[in-house]
Structure 1
Amino acid sequence: MSGSRRPAIFFGFKPWKDYVPRWFPDRDCRVVSRKPRDMLLQGWPLRLLLCRSPEVYVWGSKYPPFLKSFCRRFGIPFYHVEDGFVRSVSLGAQRSPPASLIIDSRTLHYDARSPSDLELTLQTYDFAADKALMERADRCIRMLLDLRVSKYNLGKRVSLDILFGPKTRRRVLVIGQVETDASIAFGCDRPVTNNDVVRLAAVENPDAQIIYKPHPEVLHGTRTGVSNPAEVADICEILKEDIAPADALEGIDHVYTITSLMGFEALLRGILVTCYGMPFYAGWGVTDDRQKCARRVRRLTVPAVFSAAYLLRSRYFDPATGGSTSLESVISELSQDVCCRTPATGT
């Protein structure tokens, strides 16, 4: 490695190897394999000791545990990187690069076992004093809702009324997740499946129409589910095709989720949300929590949580060039693809 820029070593970023230098133009970037065997054969992490003031960035949980302890021992800055909350038009599993990243020096933002940078921001930032931030948050929320932009901006535009008939009673939406996902492993203090959450919603809302939305990656076949939706087909309506989140949330009165970001997107729409686990937006008084976090004692508003997660702790990148940009620009760019999908109508 050479030059005057600070060396930065990236572990687990291989799918986005070509984007890393664009995301971190002020660093001398080196992308390394996520496989421990390959790392050791290439001399990592000992090679870090030969670098001048290196930094280490890891993607999600795709790094060997000894790497973090090694960096801590030798005083090497260590950062967790994950997809942001307004990501792309298609799925990461389909190799679509993210338009936003969250970089955290403590832990992954969805790891409820210990405080992340995002959690500490939520716990300590003076949102009331930062009127400019809150005004911007309000504008961005309105943009997201008006332009129907979500984290993954794919899925068919179709009304629930077309799929299930006109609404005649309360509608409760259960948001399915990939049950082997790290956000569940790190965000829940006990085992749970999507079917468990469907059953909970049905028991607590006996007079409601229960609608179960499996995760897009399960529907698209890029990830495998643990529970079988057919086992709860007698107590709910199952969305058997991927529909856009904005359409899935239209007319919903209550959402149940484990840790899904779509639960927060429901909060932005004023929908009551029950969280079985402890996502970043739970524990602050805006959700019905079935898991407690003793650290999270502050009471916040939904716009305050939004401003911390989407504005203070996220970085945004142009989907085409990878260059730095703003949330507003990313929303506008992604909305063009969302608008190209014409809503299905009845005949």
Structure 2
Amino acid sequence: MARRATFFGFEPWKNHIPKWFPDRNCRVVTRNPELMLRRGWPFRLLLSPRQEVFVWGFKHPPFLKKFCRLFGIPFFHVEDGFVRSVSLGALRAAPASLIIDRRTAHYDAGSPSDLERTLQTYDFAADKALMDRADRCIRLLLDLRVSKYNLGKRVDLDAMLGRRSKRRVLVIGQVETDAAIAFGCDRPITNNDLVRLAASEHPDAQIIYKPHPEVLHGTRAGVSDPSEVADVCTILKEDVTPADALDGADHVYTITSLMGFEALLRGIPVTCIGLPFYAGWGATADRQSSLRRTRRLSAREIFAAAYLLHSRYFDPGTGDPTNFETVVRRLSEMRDVTPVQQRQ
């Protein structure tokens, strides 16, 4: 008999859940706490003996996790994986990869996630097959120029900005109200703060600011106004592909963005203000410390844990379970045949 799985906060993806969890008897519940209570949740969970709960990120009322712990109901956090889609999630493009974590979301710097535990304890040196596959997968990712989102415009940065005459420091903007910053950074900071910090620490460099694609496309609101830092940086006002932006960078500054890790995979030095999953292991210059993260890891080891051991992959066209290699190739094909305006 299949286990019953109840999903909280998954409304945008409710039609995909049966394919994502084919071995579960699935039902989707509203993410509205008041409506949940009126409909008898979470008490209705007690009616099924083989029950599991999955929540999207932290889009659930705090009492739900405590309730599940009290009654011994397995509880999982689900989030977008690291190679996601050709279009934006805000435009209802379903993720082609997921991270499922029993402890907390992978971007929660305040608590150890399953991913963090693997990074802290896994014997990567003893798993030659995993590391050989990681090397092949990194090469594939870089060769096909695939990122988390794959909707930006291909550009030649030198043609856009002029011939390089000094070092270039790329500042990666994020959605400032995003949970990845709220849970991944121990201090309030805006994108403009990050730009000013990079400019003050690299006075002889050209500072290039790449706003987040969801802010550029108007699907999410920004907190800070980029025009206020136009005097200390060059702002990329178009959604440039991450690969093209990184090709021209000598150093990257980020709060917690995944693009920081994509920079590491290219051998670019990265300064992190917050503590994303890839920081704290000696691969980045960190401004937020973690007493839990005591190992020194390479970018390829972090990749192996995050992209291969802790991610599930689904064909972007059919939604059927597949692997990293297939998803990267499919996203590359979809990006190359889809006009930019149709991805946005």
| Cα separation, 2, equivalents of 1:205 and 1:341 | 38
**Residue 227 (structure 1) aligned with residue 224 (structure 2):** yes
Summarize deviations over 1:305-333 as a string: whole Å, max 9, x none: 00000000000001122111000000010
**Residue 100 (structure 1) aligned with residue 97 (structure 2):** yes
Backbone CA RMSD of aligned residues: 1.1
Amino acid at match of 1:213: K
Confirm or deny: 8 A CA contact 1:90 1:154 kept in the other structure. Answer: yes
| Cα separation, 2, equivalents of 1:29 and 1:42 | 17
TM-score between both structures, scaled by the size of structure 2: 0.97
SS at match of 2:148: coil
Give unmatched runs, 5+ long, in structure 2: none
| Cα separation, 2, equivalents of 1:134 and 1:342 | 36
**Residue 211 (structure 1) aligned with residue 190 (structure 2):** no
Amino acid at match of 2:162: G
| Cα separation, 1, equivalents of 2:227 and 2:28 | 43
Q: Paired residue for 2:12? A: 15
**Residue 118 (structure 1) aligned with residue 107 (structure 2):** no
SS at match of 2:207: strand
| Cα separation, 2, equivalents of 1:291 and 1:84 | 23
Q: Paired residue for 1:176? A: 173
* One of 69, 72, 75 as aligned partner of 1:72: 69
**Residue 32 (structure 1) aligned with residue 35 (structure 2):** no
Q: Paired residue for 2:139? A: 142
TM-score between both structures, scaled by the size of structure 1: 0.97
| Alignment of structure 1 residues 171-320 onto 2, 5 Å | 171-320=168-317
Confirm or deny: 8 A CA contact 1:86 1:152 kept in the other structure. Answer: yes
| Cα separation, 1, equivalents of 2:17 and 2:339 | 34
Summarize deviations over 1:105-155 as a string: whole Å, max 9, x none: 000000000100000000000000000000000000000100000000111
SS at match of 1:278: coil
Summarize deviations over 1:225-260 as a string: whole Å, max 9, x none: 011111100000000010110001112100000000
| Cα separation, 2, equivalents of 1:39 and 1:56 | 14
Amino acid at match of 1:245: P
Amino acid at match of 2:16: Y
SS at match of 1:187: coil
| Cα separation, 2, equivalents of 1:314 and 1:342 | 28
SS at match of 1:330: helix
Dislocated runs of 4+, deviation >6 Å = none
Number of equivalences: 340
| Cα separation, 2, equivalents of 1:64 and 1:143 | 40
Amino acid at match of 1:222: T
Summarize deviations over 1:257-302 as a string: whole Å, max 9, x none: 0000000000000000000000000000000001101110000011
Q: Paired residue for 1:58? A: 55
Give unmatched runs, 5+ long, in structure 1: none
> Aligned-pair distance for 1:342?
9.2
SS at match of 1:210: strand
Q: Paired residue for 2:150? A: 153
| Cα separation, 2, equivalents of 1:311 and 1:172 | 30
| Cα separation, 2, equivalents of 1:303 and 1:184 | 24
Amino acid at match of 1:85: F
**Residue 329 (structure 1) aligned with residue 308 (structure 2):** no
